[in-house]
Amino acid sequence: MANNISADIDRVLTQYRTVAIVGASSDPQRPSYRVADFLKKESYRIIPVTPKGGEILGEKVYPNLSLIPVPVEVVDIFRRAEDIPPVVDEAIAIGAKAVWMQEGLINEEAADKAKKAGLIVVMDRCMRKELLKKLGRESEI
């Protein structure tokens, strides 16, 4: 399972720039907010996804992946593990290239389905922390 995780992480962080943040929060104390804020500052295009709508970090919030009007490359998931399968189904349906399940999130069934559909899958890792490592800024973790 973890045989090529470093290569997968590297590929996602270097080749893809449009990231949908599923479970995004407008609360600066929430991990999803901190990750989205960091990615935006590092020149990634972030698209917050949460049923509440509105705006987060100056970006329009979409209620689901299907309503995002631009191609999404990475779906970064901040939802409970049991809520991940429908997000993965939607990621596959919109043609995302990768599904990233944040730290503490593991759903093997959803991961297998995404892999079978040709998506890169990263589980139980923080996109912000992995990018900081890649940038040689571990002290900021």
Domain spans, the chain: 5-136
Quickly state the pLDDT bin for 2 (edges 50, 70, 90).
very low
Instruction: Residues 5-136: name the CATH superfamily.
Output: NAD(P)-binding Rossmann-like Domain (3.40.50.720)
Mean predicted confidence (pLDDT) in 18-23: 98
Instruction: Kindly report, residue by residue over 36-91, the tens digit of the pLDDT.
Output: 999 999 999 999 999 988 999 999 999 999 999 999 999 999 999 999 999 999 99
Host H or E run for residue 75: strand 74-77
Question: pTM of the predicted model, to two decimals?
Answer: 0.96
Burial of 81 (0-12, 13-18, 19+ CB in 10 A): middle
What pLDDT does residue 3 have?
A: 57
CA–centroid distance for 67 within its chain: 17
